[in-house]
Amino acid sequence: MRIALMTLFPEMTGLVTGFGVTRRAIENDRLSLEAVNPRDFTDDRHRTVDDRPFGGGPGMVMKVEPLERALSAARERVGPARVIYLSPQGRPLTQRKAQELAAEPALILVAGRYEGVDERFIESWVDEQVSIGDYVLSGGELPALVLVDAVARLLPGVLGHEDSAAQDSFSGELENLLDCPHYTRPEEYQGRVVPEVLRSGDHERIRRWRLKQALGRTWRWRPDLLEARRESGWSEEEERL
Ligand code: ADE
């Protein structure tokens, strides 16, 4: 997948390109992430990308012209792509949304700064607005990188173990459930032992224990998620658990 990030702070892409799973995805040509800086598409001496808001008020608004030119450049780099503006006004980023976006050949992500971008840019060019939660950050870069990370690990061949992504919280058999607890060696640590079932080698018992743990934690910590799961249909097994 090819991704272009429109940002005034291109160095921030290093958080994704420099580390771990996403870095490997880039090295293995499963993913490309390039920054396009609207400041490179200004035509005044000061390279102005923002201006005061009509109607008054605090803060500045990103100007439409540099954004439009940067978008054309981004399209040239990644080809036809869905354009996503990161904003608290957007639809929530969920695992399902990440899966949907992972099927796209290319994405252009627009990170705003200041009070946001001129609404006319959004109306003309943005396909969709996405939010990473009900809080306000000082720019769209971190949300964009969160989205890139969530999508990248779903791309074919990116995660080592074939099933890792399918077994995450929120997907596959565990759709809309929190993850179960995990343990590694030592078997006993400061008097606390790893649950016997996980050492039993009985795969069916282990599967049921994990599902039960996931259901229990979700019931305690995120009952709102159970509602969504009930709506999409419990299994008979869960009904019993
Ligand atoms: N920009 C600022 N805050 C944001 C958020 N919560 N989600 C997406 N983009 C944002």
Which atom number of ligand 1 is nearest to the Cα of residue 140?
1
According to the annotation, is 201 in a ligand binding site? Answer: no
Res 161: pLDDT? 67
Question: Do 205 and 135 fall into the same domain?
Answer: no
The residue among 138, 99, 141, 122 whose CA lies nearest residue 5 is: 141
Question: Do 11 and 125 fall into the same domain?
Answer: yes
Give percent of the chain with pLDDT exceeding 70. 98
Is pLDDT at 233 greater than 90 in this prediction?
no
157 in a domain, yes or no?
Answer: no
Distance 224 CA to ligand 1 centre (A): 22
Distance 136 CA to ligand 1 centre (A): 6
* Residues 134-168 pLDDT 10s: 999 999 999 999 999 999 999 999 998 655 776 67
Is pLDDT at 191 greater than 70 in this prediction?
yes
Res 95: pLDDT? 95
The reply to whether 53 belongs to the active site is: no
- For ligand 1, residues with CB inside 6 Å are 86-88, 131-133, 135-137, 140, 143
Tokens 């869960």 locate to: 238
The reply to whether 168 belongs to the active site is: yes
Last residue of a domain, one of 91, 121, 152: 152
Res 119: pLDDT? 98
Q: What is the CATH number of the domain that holds 207?
A: 1.10.1270.20
Distance 235 CA to ligand 1 centre (A): 36
The reply to whether 205 belongs to the active site is: no
Res 234: pLDDT? 75
Is pLDDT at 172 greater than 80 in this prediction?
no
The residue among 83, 52, 46 whose CA lies nearest residue 67 is: 83
Question: Do 179 and 108 fall into the same domain?
Answer: no
The residue among 1, 66, 63, 77 whose CA lies nearest residue 32 is: 1
Is pLDDT at 127 greater than 70 in this prediction?
yes
Question: Do 104 and 191 fall into the same domain?
Answer: no
According to the annotation, is 57 in a ligand binding site? Answer: no
Q: What is the CATH number of the domain that holds 57?
A: 3.40.1280.10
Question: Do 181 and 106 fall into the same domain?
Answer: no
Mean pLDDT to the nearest integer, 178-187: 97
Give the pLDDT band of residue 126 (cuts 50, 70, 90).
very high
Q: Which of 34, 115, 149, 179 is catalytic?
A: 115
Is pLDDT at 232 greater than 90 in this prediction?
no
According to the annotation, is 158 in a ligand binding site? Answer: no
Question: Do 121 and 185 fall into the same domain?
Answer: no
| Structural domain boundaries enclosing 12 | 2-152
Question: Do 141 and 193 fall into the same domain?
Answer: no
Point out the least confidently predicted range of 86-90, 105-109, 169-173, 182-186: 169-173
Res 228: pLDDT? 83
Res 144: pLDDT? 98
Mean pLDDT to the nearest integer, 104-116: 96
SS3 3: strand
What is the tally of structural domains in the chain? 2
Res 166: pLDDT? 67
Alpha helices in 2-118 (DSSP H): 14-17, 20-27, 64-78, 95-102
According to the annotation, is 114 in a ligand binding site? Answer: no
Q: For ligand 1, atom 5, name the residue with the nearest CA.
A: 88
Question: Do 129 and 182 fall into the same domain?
Answer: no
Q: Which of 88, 175, 222, 238 is catalytic?
A: 88
167 in a domain, yes or no?
Answer: no
Point out the least confidently predicted range of 68-72, 97-101, 171-175, 188-192: 171-175
- The ipTM estimated for the assembled molecules is 0.98
Is pLDDT at 207 greater than 90 in this prediction?
yes
Contacts 24+ apart (CB under 8 A), 22-25: 22/148, 22/149, 22/152, 22/153, 24/158, 25/152, 25/153, 25/155, 25/158
* Residues 5-48 pLDDT 10s: 999 999 999 999 999 999 999 999 999 999 999 999 999 999 99
